[in-house]
Structure 1
Amino acid sequence: MIRWWLKQRPQTVLFAAVLCVTAIALCDWRITFNATLGFLYIFPLAMLGTILRVWQIIGMAIFCMTLSSVLDPFSMDALVPRSILIFLTLATVGLLSRQIATGYRSEMESLTRLQDEVEARKVEIASRLAAEEQLDFLVQSSPAAVFTVSDSGEILIANPATHALLDVPAGSLCGSRIGDYIPELAAVPSVDETTTVYRTEMQTHGRRRNGEVFVANVFFSTYRTPAGPRLAALVVDASEDLREREEASLEQMLTGSHILVAAVSHEIRNVCGAIRVVHENLSRSGILNGNQDFESLGALTKTLARITSLELRRSTGGAAHNTFNAQDVLTDFRIVLERSCAELDITLAWDVPSDLPLVRADRQLLMQILLNLTKNSQFALEGVDDKWISVSARHHGNFIVIAVDDNGPGIPVGRSLFEPLQKGAHTTGLGLYLSRAFARSFHGELRHVPTSKGCSFVLELPLVGRSENSGS
C-alpha cells in the first residue's frame, strides 16, 4: 500500500489522509459501542509518513492520540498508559512508513540512474559501432594502403589497397612480415622499446611480391593496446610522382637551356653584325683587299652569324606554353615564400586579387622568375632592420603586372642589371639575365623600376589573347 501512495502526488496523499482522519473521528464520535477506533489512525499515519518529516509525523501522532483519547468511551483511569500506547503505535507506524518511503525513493533514484547509464551506454555502443563501421568502410574503400603491424613485425590487418600495392592475393597478407615488403617499417621501435611515440612520415622504398621496387610515402604511428604494441601505417605509391617530377625537371632544364642558348645566340649575332659592318667598311676602303686573312675573317663572321640565327630559331620556335590562372601559381609561390621569409625574420606583404584573368606562359619558368627575384631580395636584406618584402599583382591593360619590392639598400645608379655573369653576384650572375630571357620567351617582360629607397622589379605577363597575337 505504501508504494502505491508513493506514486501519488503529495497533495493527493495529504487530502486522503485528512479525509481518513476526519472519517475515523466522526465514526468514533457518533457511533457508540464498547470499543475504540483509535487503532484505525495507523492508516492515515502510514499515508502521511510518505510525505511528512519526522517532527511532522510526531505532531500528527500526538493529534490522533488526542482525538482517540477524547472520543473513546473508556473511563479516565487508564488514560495515560493508553494514550502513550496509542502514541507509540501511531508514531512507530508513521516513522516506519517514512523509512520505507525513503528507502523506496533511494532505490528508485538508483534504478533511474542505472537506467540512464544503461541508455547512455547503449547510445555510446551504438555510436561506437557506427563509427567503427564508418572507419572500416573508409579503410576498406581507401585507395591508399592501410594496415597495422604487431611489435614482432607481423601484419595484423590490411585493406584491399594494401594487397593491390604489394601485388599479393586478397586476404593473404595477414600473418606476413612487413620487413619483406617495406624493410624500414620493420626497423621502427615499438612503444615497449622506447619512450618515444611516433606520429610521423617518411619516404622509403618498398618491394612488391614480384620483386618490383617502388617509392613509398609512409605515414605511420605507434601505440599501445591491451594485446601489445602496435604500428598503424598508411602507404602511398609515389613512383609516378617521382617519374613526373624528374621528367618535369628534365623538361624545365631543357627549356631553360634552349632559352639560354637563344639569348647567347642573340648576343653573338649582335657582335657578328658589328664585326660584319666593320669588315664591310674596310672592304670598301680597299686597304686590305687581297689579304687572305681579312677575307677569311669575313667568311667566318658570316658563317657564325648564320649558325647563331639557325640556333636562335631552333631555340625559340618550339616553345610550348600553357594557359592557366596566374592566381594558382602565385598561391604556390606564396606557400614557398612565406616559410623562407619567416625563417629569415622578414615581413611578407601580400596584395594579390583573387580575380586575375588567364595568362599563357610556362608555369615552371614563371615560378623560377619569382623565386629568383625574392631570393635576390632576401640576400639584399641581410643586416637590414625591420626588413620586408612586398608582392603585389594587378590587371593593367593587356597584361598582369606583378611587382616585387623590398626595403634593402637598393641598386647603384648606372649598374647594368640584366647583363650575364654579373660581378659580385651571390651565385653565377645569370639570375636576372635568365629571368628576363624566360619572361620574354612567353612574350612577357621583366624590368627594374628605380626607387628612392629599396628595390622594385616589375614582371609583365601577357593575357591569353595578347600572347597569342604577339606570337602570331
Structure 2
Amino acid sequence: MHTALLSSNPSTLYRLGVWYGVYRLIISFSLIIIFFLTFQQFKSDYQHLGVYLFTLLAYSFLGTLQLLALKLFPIALPRQLLLISLIDVGCFSSLTFAMGGPTLHIGLLFVITIFVTNLLLSRSQAFSITLLSVIAVLYLQLFGSWFMTSDLSKIGNSTLLAFLFFVVYLTGQFAVQRFRLLENISISQSLELLQLQNINRYILEQIDMGYLAIDEKMQVVLSNPAAYTLLGIPALMVFRSAPLQEIQPDLYQYLQLNSAKQGERFIFETMQSRYSSIHIRVQKLELPQQTLTLFVMQDAQKINQQVQQLKLAALGQLSASIAHEIRNPLASIVQANNLLIDADSEQHSMLINMIQKQAQRIDHIIQSTLNMAHNQATLPIDIQLKQFLPQLVLEDLYEVHHKIMIEVRDAVLISFDEAQLRQVLINLIRNALRHTAPEKPQIYVYAYQQDGYAFIDVVDFGEGITADKVHNLFHPFFTTQIDGTGLGLYLSRSFCEANQAKLSYVKLQDGTCFRIECPAIQIQ
C-alpha cells in the first residue's frame, strides 16, 4: 500500500494539515459572506436555498471543530485528515445539489480537494475521494433531474468535470512520485554528506598534524586533538566553539600583535605547552559567509629531525651515485691501460687519448652530479642521433662496440644535455649487455621518430624482469645484482626528466626494452 507523500515525516504532515484547515475556514466564511452580499441579485440561481445556506453554516462549524482538533489533539492524524476530506466532498456535493448542478467555483473547490488528498492521504484513499467527487457531480445531477430540479443539459458539464477530476488525480499521483523521488535523493545525499563529515572528523582525529580554525572574531570553529596537544589545551577546556583568548591566550596575544597572512609560517612558543616550539603555517579559507584562518601546526623539533634525516639520506644517495657513475669510465680506463702493454705506437696514442677522455668524463660526472644536487639547470643542445649514437659507442663503449647494433631509422634531432644523455645511454647499454642471453650476445639500439616524438629503444634478449619487480625498477637503491648500487636506472630517469624526457620499461615477448621518449625537433 502506497503511503502519503509526507507520511514519513509526521511533523510536516501535521503542519500541512493545519494550513489546509485554515484554508477551509477561509473558504467557508468567504462563501457565507459572498452569499449574503449577492443573495438578492442571484436569488434565482439557487435551486435549494435552504440546503445551500445550511451546508455553508455546517461546513464552517465543522471546519472550526476540525482545526481545533488538529491543534489540540494531534493524534490519529491520518484518520483526521481522511475525515476532513470526506466532509469536504460531502459539503461540496450538497452545494452542487443546492445549485442544481456544478458551478465553476464549486468545481474548483473539488479540484483543490482532490489534489490535496494526493499529498495527505494514501493512493487508495485519494482514489476513493476522487470517485466520491465524480459521483457527486454525476449521480447527484441525475438524481436532481428525477425530481425536475435539475437541468439534464448540465450533465455534459458534469461529465467533463468528472473527467477533470481523474486528470487532477493522475497529475497529483505523478507529482507525488516525483516528490517522493526527490525526497529519497535528498535523504541519500544527506546520508552521504553525514558519512563524509564523519570520515573527515575521523581523519582529523587520527593525524599527527594539528588543525585549528578561527573566525574573524577569534572564535575557534574547528580543531582536532593534535592541535589541543601541541598548544597545551586541557581536555576540560575543549569546546566546539570557544574564544581563542580563553583556551590559548598566548596564541591570541601573538595574533593581536602580528597579522596572520596567507601562506605565512612562524615558530610559536608557549609555556602552556610541553613542546618547546611549534611550527605554524597560516591558510586563509574564503567561505561564502565568512573568512576563516586555518593554522596547520607541527612540532618544530620533529620537523628538524626529519630534515636532518633527509639530508643524511640525500648525502648517502649522492655519494653512492657518484661512485656508481664513476665506475663506467673507470672500467674503460682500466681496459685501456691493460691494452697499452701490447699496443703498437698507433694504438698506444689512441688508448692514451681514450684514458684522457675518460678521466675528463669522471671529472665531469662529479661536477654534473654536484650540479644536480644543487638544482642547477641542464644545458640542452641539439643532438643529431644518427651521428651521436655511433660516436658514443666508439668513444665510451669501444671494448664492447661489436656487441652493439645501432639502427637510426630517421634523421632524428632532439634537444638534450649531451653529458647526461651519454650517462643515460651508457647505463642502459651496459645493463642490456649484462642481462642479454649468452646465445644472443648482441643488443640493439633503435632510434626513430613518430607523431612529433623521438624514441630511443635499448633492446636485449634476456629473460626480462619479473612482474613483481617492475614497479620498483626506477626506485633508488633497487637492484637485482649483488654488486649493484641500484642507482643506475634511478639517475637515468632523473636525467631524462630534467630534459623533459621520459624513461620507461617496455616488456617484449623475447626480451626487454628501455625506451627514452622526448619531443623531436623538426628538421628544416
Q: How does the TM-score come out when normalised to structure 1?
A: 0.35
Larger Rg, first or second structure (1 or 2): 1
Q: How does the TM-score come out when normalised to structure 2?
A: 0.33
